[in-house]
Structure 1
């Protein structure tokens, strides 16, 4: 009896399966997980790019473009190397969704450009992407027949209230940033704690901290906005954000409703410093003899931000002998502060400029008679230099009545968020960008 070859193959396969102790079963295809809208859009872009790339051209290269002063969108596109008529076609396509003539200098967009193989001929635009809002963008890509196709993409946006905990490793601000706190949240917490602590001497490694803050993120995890610090705790000292009736901006209070803001911050630096020379007699590092040191020196890296320890008015910002770049600020109660050896001033720092407590006013440097980057810090009381470490000022007020009741309700809400480890809620999208209009046709 003759047996067909394929029958022998089937018998052999079944025999091997039985010898291995398994029953032969036909292979089953696993269901692929459903794709998100954003993943679908990415795959579509890749498909259109692959289909629209003509033969004889290189793989598309990403070329960022920024519109220059006095330049139109079409002229900016032409700088990628594509033909004038193709740049006009791109502008005409994009004009179905927005007014390309209203684009200002500085507007950025990304292009994908293919070059001709062998160096002959003109470049070809394969795709263009322009962000029109924090979570929206327009794309121009080539369809299967080579025509330009316009599409508006919108990412889902979620608002998160984040509870962040960690242990200090080096600088508190840098640690918080490494753990995921936005820059404005880390700075705000540093300013708050500087009212209660000497940030150089009182904060130690492994000190635990907790921050609660809000942020808005896209479905890809990109942060597109923050709404500030709600709560901060360090070494058992906690602050809650609350805006009393009639106040121009939110303030921070302890658990009893006492305003944590003191009239004077303990240091004009928030992070990355140490006291290198105290107030009093010392051997001068340059002159070599004992001399009265009428301030405190903080060793810190060049460029470290210097903040105003209290509200005030700039008296002078100028070069002053051995002090190098010098800044002096007048505060209330007959107090003035001075800052020497600065590398530069913050924008707008000039005589007559009003500053707020915690506002960056300058940056650490080594100008003048200096042996290295540091801040020389002085305080005057009614024209006489005094020891900055000895300044004692009153703290803020205590909430009462309706304000205290409203504060307790807000404190309870923040405590619930802390206990739950945070919260999330979707955000309804609004308009994309100035000049955007519905697509025609």
Structure 2
């Protein structure tokens, strides 16, 4: 029996030959004509079923004869390197690399691939250790929810396939109790790093995240994200709602405002004039304002600030809008920063490892902006932030600072806020919502190959 070759053109037989064959059959068998068997329609497979069958088939053929089982090899295109040169670094030969390039060129122009692009390959090596390796598969992500794959079929040919996952936009409601810290607790529930940072920064307006937050405190975070069929998050929206203990925030953008802000349930802007601490995560108060035994000098001495123990590199944020007065080395304070704020207030930061981008004398900073990073420079026994506050030139206890809150919505803005609040409350009561999403973003540099 001849081997079936899917690349061979099928034979075409003229209809009158079927008629002649039928007549000959009648003559030979005395007029007895068997009714032809009726083939049943084969049910069409879904994309998921096809993927499962292919996965099983490739798994069965994952170790070609004479080759080792495939190994995952990550490839990153280097500066000045072509795609084929990058492929050669996996151990495959020049002809193999050229064949892979020719296959991928059916989808996009390989000249558009820039340095830094990463993709995954599966490579099998000769069992005897001699000769070139062989490509078994290649996966290249072309967008947040799309990718190209090159796989080897049973006859050795390379097959190109584009895979596009369905993406769902969902509004997530995460509810839990604090265990350890808000950041760690939210991470365990699936909150992304940007959401965790945003929540900590928000609550820092009203709470000291080290002393005011305790184990078993209730919290709820609501935010949007886009998720693929396989459960991979490809995009995260802003925090829509945040609640910790009795502190609640709703996201709302008043008419004419450049960006969204956060308000309490009555429509009061929760942005205070000064945040409680200059750190929003990963710290504890190691020394308070007042007399103490100096850790280096060994005698009782007035400590005119607060110390926050934190890891080197922890971001230090401006607790209020202001202007940088000093950013320099200053004796035992090491790397020192001082910022002037409104109402006669100034803040100082000591033992810094380095300053934030663009931070220098005369530079304006905004509330929540990263202005420096925790370190252990100067007279320091370990990584921590020394924090001071002056009022009209006199040092005061940072823990006792009293600040005023923001404005209250009114008129049309208040009406619109109440409608948005009601919508968010409905989402929370329902435990979230889901709807189809469309993502347009793709990997820079990839465009379809020219046709013709």
Equivalent-residue separation in structure 2 for 1:213 and 1:142 (angstroms): 42
Equivalent-residue separation in structure 2 for 1:313 and 1:81 (angstroms): 57
Q: Is the aligned partner of 1:73 residue 2:83?
A: yes
1:142 counterpart residue number: 152
Q: Is the aligned partner of 1:178 residue 2:183?
A: no
2:198 counterpart residue number: 188
Pick aligned residue for 2:338 from 328, 331, 350:
328
Pick aligned residue for 2:447 from 429, 436, 439:
436
Q: Is the aligned partner of 1:312 residue 2:305?
A: no
Unpaired runs of 5+ in structure 1?
1-33
Larger Cα-atom Rg: 2
Mapping of residues 98-137 of structure 1, within 5 Å: 98-137=108-147
Q: CA RMSD in A?
A: 2.3
The offset of 1:336, in angstroms, is 2.4
Pick aligned residue for 2:236 from 213, 222, 226:
226
Pick aligned residue for 2:211 from 196, 201, 224:
201
The offset of 1:392, in angstroms, is 2.1
| Range with bigger deviation, 388-397 or 114-123 | 388-397
The offset of 1:407, in angstroms, is 0.5
The offset of 1:227, in angstroms, is 0.5
The offset of 1:43, in angstroms, is 4.3
- What secondary structure sits across from 1:287 in the alignment? coil
User: Do the aligned residues in 1 keep the contact of 2:166 with 2:228 (CA within 8 Å)?
Assistant: yes
User: Do the aligned residues in 2 keep the contact of 1:38 with 1:155 (CA within 8 Å)?
Assistant: no
User: Do the aligned residues in 1 keep the contact of 2:62 with 2:70 (CA within 8 Å)?
Assistant: no
| Range with bigger deviation, 78-87 or 341-350 | 341-350
The offset of 1:250, in angstroms, is 0.8
User: Do the aligned residues in 1 keep the contact of 2:112 with 2:447 (CA within 8 Å)?
Assistant: no
2:98 counterpart residue number: 88
Offset from partner CA, 1:254-276 (integer Å, 9 cap, x none):
01100000010011122333322
Q: What is the TM-score when the length of structure 1 is the normalising length?
A: 0.86
Q: Is the aligned partner of 1:427 residue 2:450?
A: no
The offset of 1:279, in angstroms, is 2.0
Q: What is the TM-score when the length of structure 2 is the normalising length?
A: 0.84
User: Do the aligned residues in 1 keep the contact of 2:172 with 2:223 (CA within 8 Å)?
Assistant: yes
User: Do the aligned residues in 2 keep the contact of 1:52 with 1:143 (CA within 8 Å)?
Assistant: no
The offset of 1:321, in angstroms, is 2.0
User: Do the aligned residues in 2 keep the contact of 1:49 with 1:141 (CA within 8 Å)?
Assistant: no
Mapping of residues 10-409 of structure 1, within 5 Å: 37=47, 40-41=50-51, 43-45=53-55, 47-48=57-58, 51=61, 54-409=64-419
User: Do the aligned residues in 2 keep the contact of 1:330 with 1:337 (CA within 8 Å)?
Assistant: yes
User: Do the aligned residues in 2 keep the contact of 1:296 with 1:378 (CA within 8 Å)?
Assistant: yes
When residues 104 and 238 of structure 1 are mapped into structure 2, their CA distance, relative to the original with a 3 A threshold, is same
Unpaired runs of 5+ in structure 2?
1-43
- What secondary structure sits across from 1:118 in the alignment? coil
Moved over 4 A (4+): 48-54, 438-441
When residues 206 and 393 of structure 1 are mapped into structure 2, their CA distance, relative to the original with a 3 A threshold, is same
| Range with bigger deviation, 373-382 or 224-233 | 373-382
Pick aligned residue for 1:417 from 422, 427, 432:
427
When residues 51 and 254 of structure 1 are mapped into structure 2, their CA distance, relative to the original with a 3 A threshold, is same
- What secondary structure sits across from 2:227 in the alignment? strand
In the alignment of these two chains, the number of paired residues is: 408
Equivalent-residue separation in structure 1 for 2:102 and 2:361 (angstroms): 52
